[in-house]
Amino acid sequence: MNQTKMTIRDLNLWYGDFQALHGMDLEIPENEVTAFIGPSGCGKSTFIKTLNRMNDLVQGCRIEGNVQLDGENIYSHRYDVNNLRKRVGMVFQQPNPFPKSIYDNIAYGPRTHGIRDKQQLDQIVEESLKKAAIWDEVKDHLDRNALSISGGQQQRICIARALAIQPEVLLMDEPTSALDPISTAKIEELVTQLKEDYTIVMVTHNMQQASRVSDKTAFFLNGYIVEHGDTRKIFTNPEHEQTENYISGRFG
């Protein structure tokens, strides 16, 4: 059992009058892949965004409760959001590289956090692209616009970009839902490699993906976490009937 990296305690979230998350309690263990599964609109995407406070950008969003990163409440007034996001990186559903060169995409984060030295940036760019398993494919044209490469490659560029700021946690919001099966397989492979160095949280619609990639799984339904635990357990013998029904495709 690995150490707990993030702890969520009694988290409630409202969009205006609508309560989207109810009393969430969860531990996210270090160097493991935690998958969130559940039908559309169950709150899993909303929940993952609370972990790096991307919900701050949504108007009328109100949060109560406690999210701790290494024991520190990230919603405390003293907590610096930008620093939080440096430690908790994110990859989105749609590949969203900046319309800049591949190099500048990767270097954006480090530059944001004050790294200006060209040599150092070169090194970070290379390392990040290697970690994201795309270095070999793009090393000869780093100056090409990141939008000119394929969707699967773009997503790995986005992963590399997130890795370039050396986060501790990597949030992935349905990272393969817009990709073809081969690109998907590549990203899944990548995730299993990345967990050596990072704590990964992943939202997925694809049950097989959760079963193949994750160590822990949390099942969401209507803004509640119905069940969470070892992926092995959840996929072979879940405790709740709702979990069983969802995983075996009997509803949703």
Q: Which residues bind other proteins (CB under 8 A)?
A: 52, 54, 57, 59, 82-86, 89-90, 92, 94, 96-101, 104, 108-109, 112-113, 158, 161-162, 165, 185, 188-189, 192, 208, 211-213, 231-232, 235-236
The beta strands (E) that lie in the chain are given as 4-15, 18-29, 33-37, 61-69, 72-73, 88-91, 169-173, 199-203, 216-221, 224-230
* Nearer CB in complex with other proteins: 7/96: 96
3-class secondary-structure state, position 168? coil
Nearer Cβ to other proteins (42/54): 54
Residue with smaller CB distance to other proteins, 76 or 222: 76
Q: Which is nearer to other proteins, 5 or 49 (CB)?
A: 49
> How many whole angstroms separate alpha carbon 208 and alpha carbon 183?
15
In whole angstroms, how close is the CB of 208 to other proteins at the nearest point?
6
Torsion on CA atoms 94, 132, 121, 145, rounded to nearest 10: -40
Quote the least distance from Cβ 108 to other proteins, whole Å: 6
Nearer to other proteins, 12 or 93 (CB): 93
- For residues 118-145, one letter each, b for 16 or more C-beta atoms within 10 angstroms of the residue's C-beta and e for the rest, the string is eeebeebbbbbbebbbbbeebeeebeee
Cα–Cα distance measured from residue 152 to residue 179, given in angstroms and rounded to the nearest whole number: 6
Residue 10 beta carbon to other proteins: minimum distance, rounded to whole angstroms: 25
Task: Calculate the CA 244 to chain-centre distance.
Answer: 25
Min CB(229)–other proteins separation in Å: 14
CB 22 → other proteins: shortest distance, Å?
Answer: 25
CB nearer to other proteins: pick between 25 and 144: 144
User: How many residues are given for the chain?
Assistant: 252
Minimal distance, residue 188 CB to other proteins, in Å: 5
